[in-house]
Amino acid sequence: MSNPAVGGVVGPLVARSQHIVDLPDSLLALLPESDAPIHDGLAWVHNGDGLVGWGRAAEIEVTGPGRFDEAQLWWDTVTSSAVVRDDVDLPGSGLIAFGSFAFADHTEATSTLIVPEVVVGRRGDAAWVTVIGTGLSGAPPLTTHDCGSVATSPTFSDGSVDGITWQGLVAEAVERIGRGDLDKVVLARDLVATSPEPIDVRAPLSRLADEYPSCWTFHVDGFFGATPEMLVRLERGLVTSRVLAGTIRRTGDDVHDLALAGSLARSSKDLEEHEYAVRSVADALSPHCSSMNVPEAPFVLHLPNVMHLATDVTGVLKGEAGALTLAAALHPSAAVGGTPTDAAVRLIDSLEGLDRGRYAGPVGWIGAHGDGEWGIGLRSAQIDPDGTTVRLFAGCGIVADSSPADELAESDAKLIPIRDALTPR
């Protein structure tokens, strides 16, 4: 199912990108105020660089197993007729679309590509504005806005299952793995935050960007978060994927955390989980790459609340596949699904007890020539249409040695970024 003209493409799109100067430190401060329950601003920010956008020049919503192919076909149609004048010629300039895709093939949650009317980007010392529409127009004046703050604490409650029940699901998964049904499965849980008034997503976004600058802070159609995991980046023929699997919670004591990082790097359980994830990414990318580099051992990625085992897989693109095609080939990786993929997804469907929506699906952007960045929608939440209810998600990789209590604690740690972002300082 698709709705290719939600944003109304009247004719071929025209895009113009121009260099600009004097951007604020935070790109998110450029997002204008909105009266809509779900803010229509779009964001993809990392270490101060990235893209923000607003308005709707064109949009498509898709569902079902063919959602990636439908979206790609629509994007090919849009770009083939577009007129683009790009004076910047950097990744993210020119005609682009932001996107967010549902995790499961069979879900009521939609997936979307959105072409904004205005995009502002920054990459190192370069900054630009892109205006997109059905006719050529000048760049609008760019003004900064107060992103505000969360004024009232929401009420948090259990989502689909409570913590005790979820531990039982983990125990069931461990039993299935012990029987040889599969090697690894990722089980997710959700929390529900209820606010007395609609949430202006710019406030939690700004906090996430401030506190987790090394993550990719994103917002597309009410789905927001700060993901540490790059599913795939395609930049002028170079393919990159950051794999995270294996997690330990930080204590705030630097000396103790250093010791914990060492134990994580030696943990047979976490190394096993990580190996499955790296192998799944390498296997999925290999048909699309003429050469690949897969490091033999992971490094430890330090984030403010947790540490992960991480591996950066790189390759050289062969053929004409774009970033969205590569993201579709990779999804779901073992980091968010399991190993073998088909068996893990079946177990998730039968055991997990929740609809993930866009959680753990690809989120990011794509350019007119196929370059783009797609993260995995982790450390994330979905704002309901009324603007006052938010579903928070976290997941854990379950293998033969997993402990239900430890996995519950890990999931609690992964929920901290969004919980904190929704709570007054």
Enumerate domains of the chain plus CATH numbers: 2-421 (3.60.120.10)
For residue 150, name the pLDDT band (cuts at 50, 70, 90).
confident
Rounded to whole angstroms, the Cα distance separating 288 from 90 reads 23
How do residues 323-352 score in pLDDT, each as one tens digit? 999 999 999 988 899 999 999 999 999 999
How do residues 166-199 score in pLDDT, each as one tens digit? 999 999 999 999 999 999 999 999 999 999 999 9
Choose among 211, 241, 220, 231: nearest CA to 332: 231
> Under DSSP, is residue 148 helix (H, G, I), strand (E, B) or coil?
coil
> Of 59, 70, 184, 414, which is the active-site residue?
184
The percentage of residues in the chain with a pLDDT greater than 70, rounded to a whole number, is 98
Q: Does residue 269 have an active-site annotation?
A: no
340 upstream amide cis, omega within 30 of 0: yes
Instruction: Tell whether the model's pLDDT for residue 2 goes beyond 80.
Output: no
For residue 364, name the pLDDT band (cuts at 50, 70, 90).
very high
Q: Are 60 and 9 in contact (CB under 8 A)?
A: no
Q: Are 246 and 406 in contact (CB under 8 A)?
A: no
Instruction: Tell whether the model's pLDDT for residue 5 goes beyond 80.
Output: no
How do residues 81-110 score in pLDDT, each as one tens digit? 999 999 999 999 999 999 999 999 999 999
What is this structure's pTM? Answer: 0.93
172: DSSP letter? H
How do residues 276-307 score in pLDDT, each as one tens digit? 889 999 999 999 999 999 999 999 999 888 89
How do residues 15-58 score in pLDDT, each as one tens digit? 999 999 989 999 999 999 888 888 899 999 999 999 999 999 99
> What does the pLDDT read at residue 10?
52
How do residues 367-424 score in pLDDT, each as one tens digit? 999 999 999 999 999 999 999 999 999 999 999 999 999 999 999 999 999 999 999 9
In DSSP terms, 128 is beta-bridged to 19, 121
Phi, psi at 124, each rounded to 5°: 65, -125
> Of 59, 61, 70, 229, which is the active-site residue?
229
For residue 7, name the pLDDT band (cuts at 50, 70, 90).
very low
> What does the pLDDT read at residue 141?
87
Rounded to whole angstroms, the Cα distance separating 359 from 394 reads 8
> What does the pLDDT read at residue 182?
96
Mean model confidence pLDDT for the chain = 93
Rounded to whole angstroms, the Cα distance separating 13 from 25 reads 30
> What does the pLDDT read at residue 135?
81
Write the burial class of residue 80 (CB in 10 Å: 0-12 exposed, 13-18 middle, 19+ buried).
exposed
Rounded to whole angstroms, the Cα distance separating 296 from 191 reads 37
> What does the pLDDT read at residue 354?
94
Let me know how many helices (H) and strands (E) the chain has, helices first.
8, 24
Tell me whether strands 42-46 and 216-220 are parallel, antiparallel or unpaired.
Answer: antiparallel
Instruction: Tell whether the model's pLDDT for residue 8 goes beyond 50.
Output: no
Rounded to whole angstroms, the Cα distance separating 388 from 373 reads 30
Tell me whether strands 184-194 and 238-249 are parallel, antiparallel or unpaired.
Answer: unpaired
